[in-house]
Amino acid sequence: MNKLAKLRIQSAIAQQGCCFYCGLKMIEPTLPELSQSSAPTRWRKFLRCTAEHLTARQQQGRDVAPNIVAACWWCNSRRHRGREEKAPDSLRYRQRVQSLMKKGCWHPAGRLVVDLHANHSR
């Protein structure tokens, strides 16, 4: 296992398996407690655990523990999508993602969470 994979797993454990940005439970096959998901099959790929650089590599972010968090594939890929020069600030991005999650309009798997909350409040 390479250094970045170890940092990803350490971060996933420290974050109790939740994505740094959206807060959804991620899927990490190397950890028994995160290897299964109740999410529909079509959404599981979006929940795959990735190593996210708080300071992006393009900005000289390094593979060191203070710079790595665990993020689901969806959130990680969207932060860097179309931004070859500079990814948005990680904390501002996190606030934006969490705001969109509350509205149910960010993450495909997040729609399931909003639907579950709506059904429980009836």
pLDDT digits over 36-92, tens only?
A: 776 777 778 899 999 999 998 878 889 999 999 999 999 999 988 866 667 788 999
Helix (H), strand (E) at residue 72 = strand 68-72
The backbone torsions φ and ψ at residue 80, rounded to the nearest 5 degrees and listed phi first, read: -100, -5
> pLDDT (tens digit, 9 = 90+) per residue, 9-28?
999 999 999 999 999 999 98
Residue 20 has φ and ψ, to the nearest 5°, of -60, -35
> What pLDDT score does 111 carry?
62
CB 21 within 8 A of CB 49: no
Euclidean distance between the first and the last CA atom of the chain, given in angstroms as a whole number: 47
* Predicted TM-score of the model (pTM): 0.83
Report the pLDDT value the prediction gives residue 116, as an integer from 0 to 100: 37
Indicate whether 30 pLDDT > 80: yes
